[in-house]
Structure 1
Amino acid sequence: MSFRRARPYVNKEWLEGNRSAVSIKSPYSQEVIGEQIIATPEDVERALSAAYEAKKTIASLSSYERAKILKEAARLLEKQKEKFASLISNELGKPLKNTLDEVSRSVETLEQSAEEAKRLIGETIPGDASERGGKAIASTFRVPVGVVAAITPFNAPLNLVCHKIGPAFAAGNSVILKPAPQTTLVASEFIALLLEAGMPECAINMVLGGVETGQQIVKDDRVNIISFTGGTVASRNICELAGMKKVLLELGGNASTIVHEDADIKKAAEMCGRTGFSNSGQSCISVQRIYVHDSVVSEFTELLKNEVTSLKVGDPLLPQTDVGCLVDEKAANRVLAWIEEAVALGAKLICGGKKTGASIEPTVLLNPPKQSKVVCQEVFGPVVSIIPYQDIEEAIRETNDSSFGLQAGLFTNQMDLAYRVAESLEVGGVVINGTSNFRLDHWPYGGIKDSGVGREGPRFAIEDMTETKMIVLQLS
C-alpha cells in the first residue's frame, strides 16, 4: 500500500502547513502506512463557522439535487469497492471479506439516503377538531435542523460515516465530521469521493483529532445536533457538554443470544461462530453472551468449538482470513486480561485465549460468573461466553440484567414462545432464529438504557435530523 496522508478539510480547503502530524501504522503488520494531520483549535473554529454559514445554502438545494449527488456518490463507491476495502483492512486490521461487505453496505446506505431525500413529506391537519378551529387548517413540513456534528468510531469506519453524512445531507443539513483517530485515512478518502460526486464544497467540513477536538465541537452553540457512535463514558461527557441541542447516541452492548432446547442447535452454533468473531468481535451487536438451555449445552458447546477452531486467523488482506486483529495492542491486552479474569473466577476455557501482537485467538468460555467483565461489560473483542440456563424466564431475566439494551438473538422453533420472549427482552431489537449480530441498513437500529438514544437507518435518522415546521392558514 502506498503512503497516504489524512488531512482536515475545512472551509473548502484541505489543510496541511505547520500542524502536528501523527504516523499511522497497520495494527496487523505494524508497518507505517500514512500520517494524519491534526486540526488545531483554530481549524476547528473555522470548520464550525463554515458549517454554520453553509446551512442556508445546503437547505436551499432541492431534494432532487441532494438525491442526485448521493446516488452519484454510491455509484463512485461501488466502482472503487476494492480500493476502499483494502484501505480499511490495512488501517483497521479488519479482514478483507468483512471490509468488502462494509463497502457494499455503505453503497446501500448512500442509495437509501438518496431515496429518502425525496420523501421529506408532511401532512395537513384540519382545525375543526377544536371548537376554535373551524376556519383554520395547518400544514406540516420537515425542515433541516441546520448543522449536524458527526462523531464516528473506528469499527465500521466507512459505513458509520455514511450513516451520518448520508441522512444529514439528504435532509438538507451541513455537516462537520470528526472521524475516529484510528481510521482517518478512509474518512479522508471518502470526503474526496463525496466532492467528486458533486457535493457542494461548503456542505462538509472534517477535522482530525482527539477528545479535545470533539469537545470543542460538542460545546459550540452553532451545532444543532450531535450524532455520536461510541462508548458510554464519552457519551456521558457529550451530554454534559452539549447544552441545549439534540444528542443522538448509538452506543455499545453486551449482546445476548438465547438458544432454547427446541432450537436447531447446529444452525445456532454455526451462526454464533460466524457472527461472534467478525471484525474480531469489534461490533456493538457482536455475539457476546450465549444463554443455552441445560439440556443442549454440551452438544452446543462442542459444535461451537468446532466452528470457532475452524476460523482462519491471520493477515486481514488475505481473502481467506476470517479473523484479523484488534484495532491496536492496547485493546488486545485488555481483552486478554478479561479472559484471564473470567478463568480465575471459575470459567472454563473451551478454546482460544492466546494473544499475538494485536491479535487474540477466537475464544470461547463456558459458564463465567455474572460479575466477570466478559459478561457484565462490553468485550469488543473475539470472545463469547456460553452460560447455561434451566428455564426461559431465567434466560430473559439474565439478558435484561444489564445496563445495556441494544440487540438480542433467539433460537427456538416455537413461534408463540419467540414472540413472548421478544416482547419481554429489554432491547432495541430482537432477531428470531438469528443472533444479535444481524442488521440491515434501512432498518431502525439503536438501543435503550446505556445502549443509546435515537435510531440509525436513513429514514429514521432523517426524522431526528429534521424539525417539524407548521404553517397555519386562517380562512375568512
Structure 2
Amino acid sequence: MLINLVEKVVTKGMLIGGNWVETTEKLPVLNPHTGEEVYAISCATETHVYDALKSAAKGKIIARNLSAYDRSEIILKVASLLKERKEEFTQTIVNEGVKTKMEAGKEVDRCINTLTLCGEEAKRLTGETVPFNAFAGASAKKGHYVYDPVGIVTAITPFNDPLNLVAHKLGPAVAAGNAIILKPSDFTPISGIKLGELFLEAGLPSHVLNIITGPISNFGDILVTDSRVNMVSFTGGSKSGEAIAKAAGVKKIGMELGSSSPVIIMNDVDVNAVAENCVGGMIWAAGQNCVGVKRMYVHDAVYDAFKEKVVSLSKAVKLGNPEDEATDMGPIITNEAIDKIESSIADLEKGGYKVLCGGKRVNNSFEATIIEGDFDNVLNGKEEIFGPVATISKISSLEEGITASNDSPYGLHAGIFTNNIEVAFKATNELQCGGVMVNDSSDYRIDMMPFGGVKQSGIGREGVKSAIREMSTTKIICFNLKN
C-alpha cells in the first residue's frame, strides 16, 4: 500500500465549454504498483466530443484575441500555482503512473520550467520584414510576415510523462493563441486534468481549453478527422501515429513517436562513468521512455570491462514501492505491457541474443535487463522494447557503430561517448536521428530545445519555441505604397 495513497477513489469529469461534465459510465484508473483503483474518469461519447468541438470553435476566436501579455501572464500564473502545489502533483504522478517519488518530483520541476518558458516565449512570437523591393518593379512595396494561430489543436498525450508532456501541448498552444482539446492517456489522465484546473484558476477563458477522457472506442477518430480541427499534436507509438496521419486529412500534424535509441561507446572513455550513465538512461521511468537507452554499441577494446560494469549496475537496481527512497525503478504500466516485454525478449533469444542479467517480471515491475548480441543481427534496432531492457554489442570501429545505429526504422535520439573531437563530429554528422548527445546517453533532453525525430520517430518538432511555431501559421503581409 502506498504511504500517501488516496483513501478513496476520486472521480474526475471532463472539461467541456468551461464546465466539468460527469458521465454515468466511468473508467477506473489503477495504481500500477498495487493494482488498486485510485481514480475514476468520465467516459466521453460522440456527443461530448462534438460539444467540445463547438466549444473550441468559440475558444479559438477568444484565444487569438488575447494579447501576448495576457497569454504570457496566464501561463506564468499556472507555473506559479504548480510550484505551490508541487507535492500534490508529485503524489498524483506516483499514484497513477510508473515513476518513483524522486522521478515524479523531477517531472513536476520540468513542467514548471516548461510552462515558464511558454510564458516567456508568448511575448517573443515575432515575424520578420521581407524586402519586397528587392525584385524589379516592386520598389513601392514593403512588407513583413507574422505568426497567426492555427485555430483548434487536438492534443493526444501518453502515460509515461503524464504532466510535462501535457504541458508541452497546452503551454505552446495557449502561447500561440489557439484553442485546444486535450485527450490524455486513459492510464494516467488525472495529472493532465489537474493541470487543466490550474489553467482555469489562472484565468484562461472558457472554451479555450476542453478536456475529453475515456476510451477512444466510445467516440472514434472524430478528434482527428473533424474539419474544425486545424492541427493534431500526438505523442505515442508509431503504429498509432501512422493511423492518425492516414485519418487526419489535410491539416497540420506534429508527432513524437517511438524509438530504439542507440549509444556508441568508444575506446577512450572512463568505462565506469559511462556505464553508470547508460544504466541510468535505461531505467528512467522503468524504461518506458522514448529516448531511453535501448542499444549499446561498445568498442572491442573496452567491451569486456564495460559489459561487466553495466551488468553489475543493472543487477543492483532496486525494485519496489515507488514511494520508498531506496527504490530505483517503479512499475510497468500494465500487465499487458509486461507480457509484451517478455515476448520481445523471447524473440531476441530465438534470434541469437543472450540475456546477461534480468529478463524477469517481479510483481508489477520488471528487472533491469541487459541482452548481448551481434551488432549486425537482423533484429538489431527493429523493435522498440518499452521497458528497462537494452542490448549490448561489440564493434571494432566508429563506422560499425554508426552503421548499426542507423540500421533502424527509428531515429529520435542517439548518444556517443568519446574524448576525440574528430570522432564526435563524425558521429554527429552521420547519425540519422533528431538529436545526438555527445558524452551523454540518448536519455537527455531539456524542455527548451527542439525535440523530435526522423523516419518512424516523428514529424515536426516539440520543445517550447519550436512547438509554438508548429502551432502557428505564417502570414505574409505586403503594402503597395503607390496607389
- Do both share a fold (TM > 0.5)? yes
**Cα RMSD for the two superposed structures:** 1.4
Aligned residues: 475
Deviations 1:118-170 (A, max 9, x none): 00111222222110211100121111111111010111010000001000000
**2:18 pairs with 1:6:** no
- Of residues 378, 382, 398 in structure 2, which corresponds to 1:376? 382
The 5 Å alignment of 1:87-166 reads 87-166=92-171
Distance in 1 between residues matched to 2:267 and 2:314, nearest whole Å: 21
The aligned residue for residue 271 of structure 2 is 265
- Of residues 401, 411, 417 in structure 2, which corresponds to 1:405? 411
Shift of 1:368: 5.8
The aligned residue for residue 221 of structure 2 is 215
**2:226 pairs with 1:234:** no
Report the residue type matching 1:75 in the other structure.
S
Distance in 2 between residues matched to 1:237 and 1:191, nearest whole Å: 27
Distance in 1 between residues matched to 2:372 and 2:290, nearest whole Å: 22
Aligned 8 A contact 2:374 2:393 in 1: yes
Deviations 1:344-377 (A, max 9, x none): 3332222111112321111111126766767421
Structure 2 CA distance for partners of 1:182 and 1:368, relative to 1, 3 Å = farther
The aligned residue for residue 64 of structure 2 is 59
- Output the TM-score relative to the length of structure 2: 0.96
Q: Secondary structure at the match of 1:183?
A: coil
Distance in 2 between residues matched to 1:414 and 1:461, nearest whole Å: 34
Aligned 8 A contact 1:256 1:290 in 2: yes
Distance in 2 between residues matched to 1:25 and 1:301, nearest whole Å: 37
The aligned residue for residue 34 of structure 2 is 29
Distance in 2 between residues matched to 1:214 and 1:283, nearest whole Å: 27
Aligned 8 A contact 1:287 1:384 in 2: yes
Aligned 8 A contact 2:56 2:207 in 1: yes
- Of residues 175, 187, 192 in structure 2, which corresponds to 1:187? 192
Shift of 1:214: 6.0
- Of residues 298, 305, 316 in structure 1, which corresponds to 2:311? 305
Report the residue type matching 1:204 in the other structure.
L
- Output the TM-score relative to the length of structure 1: 0.97
The 5 Å alignment of 1:308-457 reads 308-367=314-373, 375-457=381-463
Shift of 1:463: 1.0
Counting aligned pairs with the same residue, the percent is: 37
The aligned residue for residue 278 of structure 1 is 284
Q: Secondary structure at the match of 1:33?
A: strand
Aligned 8 A contact 1:110 1:166 in 2: yes
Moved over 4 A (4+): 368-374
Shift of 1:218: 0.2
Distance in 2 between residues matched to 1:329 and 1:374, nearest whole Å: 26
Report the residue type matching 1:117 in the other structure.
A
Distance in 2 between residues matched to 1:263 and 1:472, nearest whole Å: 56
Shift of 1:215: 1.1
Distance in 2 between residues matched to 1:48 and 1:146, nearest whole Å: 12
Q: Secondary structure at the match of 1:386?
A: strand
Shift of 1:82: 1.3
Structure 2 gaps, min length 5: none
**2:81 pairs with 1:76:** yes
Structure 1 window deviating more from structure 2 (342-351 vs 52-61): it is 342-351
Aligned 8 A contact 1:249 1:452 in 2: yes
- Of residues 49, 54, 66 in structure 2, which corresponds to 1:49? 54
Aligned 8 A contact 1:136 1:473 in 2: yes
Structure 1 gaps, min length 5: none
The 5 Å alignment of 1:171-186 reads 171-186=176-191
Distance in 2 between residues matched to 1:298 and 1:348, nearest whole Å: 15
Deviations 1:252-307 (A, max 9, x none): 10000000111221111010011111101001110000000112111001111222
Report the residue type matching 1:195 in the other structure.
L
Distance in 2 between residues matched to 1:280 and 1:443, nearest whole Å: 24
Deviations 1:159-217 (A, max 9, x none): 00000100000000010000111011212211111111111122100001233446110
Shift of 1:310: 2.1
Distance in 1 between residues matched to 2:400 and 2:135, nearest whole Å: 50
Shift of 1:426: 0.4
Shift of 1:58: 0.8
Distance in 1 between residues matched to 2:379 and 2:45, nearest whole Å: 37
Structure 2 CA distance for partners of 1:157 and 1:372, relative to 1, 3 Å = farther
Structure 2 CA distance for partners of 1:214 and 1:357, relative to 1, 3 Å = farther
Aligned 8 A contact 1:276 1:383 in 2: yes
Distance in 2 between residues matched to 1:4 and 1:368, nearest whole Å: 50
Deviations 1:433-469 (A, max 9, x none): 0100000000000000000011111100111111111
Structure 1 window deviating more from structure 2 (332-341 vs 278-287): it is 332-341
